[in-house]
Amino acid sequence: MTLAVLGPGLIASAAGDDSGGVATYASIGAQYGYGLLWVMLPVTLSLIIVQIQVARMAVVTGKGFAELIREEFGVRWTAFAMLVLLIANSTVTIAEFAGIAAAGELFAVPRFVSVPIMAFVVWIIVVRASYTVAEKIFMVLSAALLTYIGSAIFAHPDWGAVAVALVTPSFQTDPGYISNFVALVGTTITPYMLFYLQSSLSDKGTSVEDYAAERTDVIIGSLLSDIIAVFIIVSTAATLYPLGIQVTTADDAARALEPLAGQYATVLFGLGLFGASMLAACVLPLSTAYAVCGAFGWERGVSQSWSEAPIFNGLYTALIAIGAAFVLIPGLPLIQAIVATQFLNGLLLPIVLVFVLKLVNDKELMGKYTNGRAFNIISYATTAALVLLTLMFLVFSFVGVGS
């Protein structure tokens, strides 16, 4: 039974290691070496806590996150949350296809070839496959992230120094460090991850009896996702940081690794970028379609046909088409678009976290499955810390600190 429900938690967490996440982790390793590795331990705990609550709401209520927001908080809050989510996820989807294009170009495949083909593959996975088939494909794409472990090994890091850095908190007061600290947290826990997890569990029909197994799925997924993040940081910290080489994108990091760690490290980094971008290019439009349709009571589901769920399939298709088309426009300012997306996600995350806490502690909604006192203390502390960090990130983004 445990193996039967594994998937949504793994996929949701792995999707967080998307092209933007890879770029953030690689940049932090290149700029600060192992200095920010310690942050990954408390961030991983926060990710597990937030996702466990969302998974519990899914199996108890059988409803998607956006659907619960509409029922409990009304149309106005729902419309606001969906508008921000739609704009933010649309822009991040463009970034994922940019990651696919960059990964293809690492292997001498032009973006005018790789992007249209992969956009069609992403589309057909969800629109023409059943939920079971789509989930298996997502799991395979998640496995591609394991290539970052190989990339880090080829970088020959000082594993003793890595171990010490993981358990030794350090902090700097310069604005650039604080900005990267906040970005590291923000790229690990994202709103679309939570919307996808609850909606996919609802779509899959996971029951309360399967909650223990799904909780295990969430924990394993969170741990694996952040372990991959650690290896990405290690690979650039061991090679680029000693030479002062800075990178801003994932493909820049892959190219910079070759003369220092060898061709295999670059190939593995490129394969990981491709797998991460493909997975997120599937999950982002899917989580958006789930959320919007759930919020307004429209039919949704991977196994639903066009006639059964026309808005769900149409929205998913439109997001993929827009994302792929934008990447093929010459001279498109993708960096500015991604910065704007970070601001929108930063605006949405505190609201989403507050929704989670209010919903999961609603006795009429959750019955005996509300948070216990100890779990609530941890949950409120986690939420408060994440809200504070998010607000800091918004301030830094607005005033241009660390740029």
Residue whose entry in the numeric block shows the structure tokens 């046909």: 305
Whole-angstrom distance, CA of residue 190 vs CA of residue 183: 11
With CA atoms as reference, report the closest residue to 54 among 353, 321, 277: 353
**Beta-carbon count within 10 A of 263 CB:** 11
* pLDDT for the residue numbered 130: 72
* pLDDT for the residue numbered 295: 87
* pLDDT for the residue numbered 163: 95
* pLDDT for the residue numbered 178: 75
Rg (CA), the chain: 20
* pLDDT for the residue numbered 402: 47
For the record, the structure tokens of 360 come out as 């999961």
| One-letter amino acid of 21 | G
Burial label, 367 (beta-carbon count in 10 A; 0-12, 13-18, 19+): exposed
| One-letter amino acid of 309 | A
Q: According to CATH, what is the number of the domain 2-399?
A: 1.20.1740.10
DSSP single-letter state for residue 133:
H
* pLDDT for the residue numbered 403: 46
CA 378 to chain centre: 22
DSSP single-letter state for residue 66:
H
- The per-residue DSSP string of 326-383 comes to HHTSTT--HHHHHHHHHHHHHHHHHHHHHHHHHHHT-HHHHGGGSPPHHHHHHHHHHH
Whole-angstrom distance, CA of residue 213 vs CA of residue 201: 12
Whole-angstrom distance, CA of residue 38 vs CA of residue 318: 40
Whole-angstrom distance, CA of residue 103 vs CA of residue 179: 27
* pLDDT for the residue numbered 167: 94
* pLDDT for the residue numbered 336: 54
* pLDDT for the residue numbered 343: 60
Mean pLDDT by 10 residues, the chain (403 residues): 60 80 87 92 89 91 88 87 82 86 88 94 84 79 84 90 93 75 79 84 80 88 91 91 82 76 79 88 89 87 84 93 90 59 67 88 91 85 79 68 47
DSSP single-letter state for residue 145:
G
